[in-house]
Structure 1
Amino acid sequence: MDIRILLVEDDEHIGNTVKTFLIEAGYKVDVCIEGNEAYKKFYNQIYQLVILDIMLPGMNGHELLREFRKLNNTPILMLTALSDDENQIKAFDAEADDYVTKPFKIQLLLKRVGALLRRSGALAKEIRCSNLTLLPDDFRAHYRGVELPLTLKEFEILMLLVQNSGRTLSHEIILSRVWGYDYDGDGSTVHTHIKNLRAKLPENIIKTARGVGYRLEEDTL
């Protein structure tokens, strides 16, 4: 599975340097220099990690962090010149996963990126969530050791739900993350695929939040 990182940094020199080293390390990287653009990219694309500056034009890093956390649990590493305790506490209170201050050593940043990706399971050959085992490289899933006969879209939906276990994902988010922002469809597309996915799962682990969307409840696995 490709690891895609969203780098939000308005300093062109720092952004280009970090991007170069991340690409050399084998990651795919999207760069944004402005907060509002970063939000649109995050909403429309699945990322395994975000590297986020605080002082940005448009939405600042603290605002983006809060908005990102409303959407999912993607690991977020703050990369900023603001080294004071207040900003660090504010970031961790909003569920940032790490905080690196400028100036920084690029090799140390890469080590922190790798640690966050390992912790989140993004670098794993398989992802386990109680009785579910997902094999991202092969687009295969097993439940209690038995392979599930999933289509590609069904696997991608299940993967998205597993990555956001316990969080309700709206029809719009699922549609944009799985089918893409420009897909000409509606919530009925998601409903149909969820219905088919449930029929292939031995137990009803996908719960409906009426009028909102769906969530995977790990305690029911």
Structure 2
Amino acid sequence: MDEPTPPRILVIEDAEAIRVPVESALAGAGFTVRSLPDGTGLEAEFARARPDLVVLDVMLPGRDGFELLRVIRRASAAGVVMLTARDGVEDRLRGLGDGADDYVVKPFVLAELVARVTAVLRRTGRTRPAVEVGGLVIDVEGGRARYGGTDVELTATEWKLLLYFARHRDRVVSKTQVLTAVWGYGELAPNLVEVNVSTLRRKLEAHGPRVLHTVRGQGYVLRGEA
């Protein structure tokens, strides 16, 4: 498979108790993540890493988030999601007026932040469509699967098989349907499906719970719960 380049995220947050979980959640969603505890070295980091999006805390030591937002906007069209402990309309209007794409108010749920980041990347054309099943993220256009934040190494045939299941997620497909879609015929060697599904399932389950299930007498289904 061709190796895609995942979107690059820069997190600027001084509180380690927030920064570390945010980094972990974004990395688990398939992004390449770097972080800074404040705005020191921001210009150099931008030149080096060229992030597609910045998660930017408002209240930072030294230069605050509003000042850093102006620096970012002079250098880049990267998406910006600001984090604030203040839910004041004036602060939000100020940030949005200076070029922020979205606001998340502390305390927040990590899944919400990941969803906001993904939405901004999608609006700015910097992310690919993905299918998510439990902790499995399938980058449809990029040709990559990640489970539990880890790349799953697949052969070309295994990728075609996983992609077929992903496009029919939550629907039971028969061995004949799989043979026809992946190998181009539906009459010969049904054990070919069994062998390849078994290998694919083993690779996936090395990183998390079972998501590719056998439905006795019917076929297979990709879903997050048995």
Structure 1 length normalisation: TM-score? 0.54
| Alignment match, 1:176 | none
Deviations 1:157-206 (A, max 9, x none): xxxxxxxxxxxxxxxxxxxxxxxxxxxxxxxxxxxxxxxxxxxxxxxxxx
Pairing partner for 2:58 from 43, 47, 54: 54
Letter paired with 1:111: A
Structure-1 residue corresponding to 2:98? 94
1:54-203 mapped onto 2 (5 Å cutoff): 54-124=58-128
Tell me, in whole angstroms, the C-alpha distance in 2 between the residues paired with 1:77 and 1:117.
10
Of residues 5, 24, 28, the one that matches 2:9 is: 5
Residue type matched to 1:26 in 2?
A: G
Contact 1:5–1:47, Cα closer than 8 Å, also in 2? yes
SS, match of residue 99 in structure 1: strand
Q: What residue identity is the alignment partner of 1:84?
A: G
Amino acid at match of 2:65: G
Distance 2:120 2:47 in 1: 21
Structure 2 counterpart of 1:39, from 35, 39, 43: 43
Structure 1: stretches of 5+ with no match in the other structure: 126-135, 138-221
Q: Which amino acid aligns with 1:29?
A: V
Q: How many residues align?
A: 128
Find the aligned partners of 1:57 and 1:120 in 2 and give their Cα distance.
29
- Shift of residue 77 of structure 1? 0.3
CA distance in 1, matches of 2:89, 2:125: 29
Contact 1:7 1:30 in 2 (8 A): yes
Asked if the contact 1:39–1:64 (Cα under 8 Å) also holds between the matched residues in 2, the reply is no
Q: Secondary structure at the match of 1:95?
A: coil
Identity of aligned residues (%): 39
The structural deviation recorded for 1:114 is: 0.8
Give the match's secondary structure for 2:41: helix
Indicate the structure (1 or 2) with the bigger Cα radius of gyration.
2
**Structure 2: unaligned runs, 5 residues or longer:** 130-140, 143-226
1:61-113 deviations in Å (ceiling 9; x for gaps): 00000111011211000011121112111101101000111001111111111
Compute the displacement of 1:60 (Å): 0.9
CA distance in 2, matches of 1:105, 1:124: 23
Deviation at 1:28, TM superposition (A): 1.0
* Secondary structure of the corresponding residue to residue 40 of structure 2: helix
Quote how far apart the aligned CAs of 1:23 are: 0.9
- AA in 2 matched with 1:108: E
Q: Encode CA deviations 1:97-147: one digit per residue, 9 max, x unaligned.
A: 00111001111111111111111111148xxxxxxxxxx97xxxxxxxxxx
The residue aligned with 2:209 is none
Amino acid at match of 2:112: L
Distance 2:46 2:105 in 1: 23
What CA distance in whole angstroms lies between the structure 1 residues aligned with 2:114 and 2:72? 22
